[in-house]
Copies of this chain bind each other. A is one copy, B any other.
Amino acid sequence: MIFTTKAEYGVRLLVELGRQGSDNPVSLKAIAEAEGLPLAYLERIVALLKKADLVESQRGAHGGYRLARPPAEITMDEAVLALEGVVAPMSCFVDDSVERKGVLCSHHEDAGHGCATKLLWTRVQGGMVEAMKRTTLAELIDFSARHGSGVFPNQLVTING
């Protein structure tokens, strides 16, 4: 599998936040219950989104999270990058900069003149990133609304309260 549940849960979290509009912050607890996801785990995931300035938080009672920007201005490559850390096909291929531990890239004593596989991974990464760049959060929100993905199509409902 390519992405972890961080990406899956994190994007769903953004979608839920987008449904709420930007008026009141939404608590993680409400989202966790609506989506059936573990709260403690969501907390760690939303921290990644906040660090990337995709969501804003308000602490204290009646606090929660809201989108930092309108959904149409949030592209999925930002979101997934924030959630997964790095989106690269191979460890010797981390955004053509970082270290290449583990897999020996090309051969023993080379500077960056590229493995035989470099062309392939470059294209694959390009295809993925391009697909994510052209997908906005607004599209996902619209898609999920039309296909009834949520339990509550229009408004989040807090189960216990």
Pick from B2, B107, B119: contact of A89, CB under 8 Å: B2
Note all chain B residues with C-beta closer than 8 A to A123: 131-132, 134-135
Within 8 A of B (CB), among A121-142: 121, 123-124, 126-128, 130-132, 134-135, 139-141
Q: What is the total number of copies of this protein in its complex?
A: 2
- A140 CB contact (under 8 Å) in B76, B116, B149: B116
CA distance A12 to B143 in the complex (A): 40
Query: Which B residue sits closest to A18, measured CB to CB?
Result: B116
Give the contacts of A6-35 with B (CB-CB under 8 A): 7-8, 11-12, 15, 35
When distances are taken between beta carbons in the complex, the residues of chain B under 8 Å from A107 are 35-36, 149-151
Q: List 24 A-B contacts (CB under 8 A).
A: A2-B2, A2-B87, A2-B88, A2-B128, A3-B90, A11-B117, A11-B120, A12-B117, A36-B104, A107-B150, A113-B147, A113-B149, A114-B147, A115-B149, A116-B140, A118-B147, A119-B135, A119-B143, A123-B131, A123-B132, A123-B135, A127-B128, A127-B130, A128-B131
